[in-house]
Amino acid sequence: KQEVTQIPAALSVPEGENLVLNCSFTDSAIYNLQWFRQDPGKGLTSLLLIQSSQREQTSGRLNASLDKSSGRSTLYIAASQPGDSATYLCAVEGSTFGDGTTLTVKP
Amino acid sequence: EPEVTQTPSHQVTQMGQEVILRCVPISNHLYFYWYRQILGQKVEFLVSFYNNEISEKSEIFDDQFSVERPDGSNFTLKIRSTKLEDSAMYFCASSDYRNTGELFFGEGSRLTVL
């Protein structure tokens, strides 16, 4: 059974800092991994989808990587802003979600 | 920009009652999903739906739950005989492909069972 873990559970950084969020999964035979953002009481907003054949995807200040062999994905956020404060979730094949990392960016 | 819409945003019901949560997926998407998120817990997959039938379901999706696509636009989740532990946020999502498609979520329907 696939298990997804996200570390750290919470992260607080000053504005402008670059940061990395981690997602690990136990079964490397995956089709895709997707990163989402969730604001309190809201739905999930898709950030990046990485297919199994890809190693990374980029959108603006966000870069997500995927290493299937090691069962890891990272989400890199460059030049963080207070508006980036939210919970970031990773999901494997849309079926198994991590607990999320709650990010706070302080002005 | 196309989006997934869900109604109601919040529903309060008495234990034992039936509820129907409604979703309008993105119009050209073919795969539809329901998830739930109990307060403070992980998002959990319930069911996926394609070509007017369930394609996959989790252990959570037992006989208490059912899904339907009653017309060309709506996708519904019915919860029969609600229990206190059914209180959660229920999310609908859609994608254009099952294994390679990007998932797009609605804002959710908060269900409170009293």
Task: Write the pLDDT tens digit of every residue in A35-73.
Answer: 999 999 899 999 999 999 999 999 999 999 999 999 999
Beta bridge partners of B11: B111
What pLDDT score was predicted for residue B70? 86
Looking at CA atoms only, how far is residue B107 from chain A in angstroms?
4
What pLDDT score was predicted for residue B98? 75
* A94 contacts B33 by C-beta, under 8 angstroms: yes
Angle at A47 between CA A52 and CA A69, to 5 degrees: 25
What pLDDT score was predicted for residue B97? 81
Using DSSP, state whether B69 is helix, strand or coil.
Answer: coil
How is residue A53 annotated by DSSP?
A: T
What pLDDT score was predicted for residue B71? 86
% of residues, chain A, pLDDT over 90: 93
What pLDDT score was predicted for residue B1? 73
What pLDDT score was predicted for residue A65? 97
What pLDDT score was predicted for residue B106? 96
Q: Mark yes or no for CB contact A46/B102 under 8 Å.
A: yes
Residue A34 with chain B: CB contacts under 8 Å: 102-103
Residue B110: count other Cβ atoms within 10 Å of its Cβ.
Answer: 18
Give the list of residues 6+ apart from residue B59 with CB closer than 8 angstroms, or none.
Answer: none
pLDDT band, very low/low/confident/very high, at A78 (cuts 50, 70, 90): very high
The b-or-e profile of A49-71 (16+ CB within 10 A means b, else e) is bbeeeeeebeeeebbbbbebeeb
Interface of A with B (CB under 8 A): 31-32, 34, 36, 42-46, 49, 51, 89, 91, 93-100
How is residue A26 annotated by DSSP?
A: S
Torsions phi, psi for B30 (to 5 deg): -115, -20
Separation of CA B36 from chain center:
7
Looking at CA atoms only, how far is residue B106 from chain A in angstroms?
6
Give the list of residues 6+ apart from residue B44 with CB closer than 8 angstroms, or none.
Answer: A97, B35, B36, B37, B38, B58, B60
- Of A9, A3, A7, nearest to A91 (Cα)? A3
Q: Which of B29, B100, B111 to mutate to test the interface with A (most CBs of A within 10 A)?
A: B100
pLDDT tens digit at each of 114 positions of chain B? 779 999 999 999 999 999 999 999 999 899 999 999 999 999 999 999 998 999 999 999 999 999 999 887 899 999 999 999 999 999 999 999 877 789 999 999 999 999
Signed CA dihedral, A51, A56, A58, A62: sign only: positive
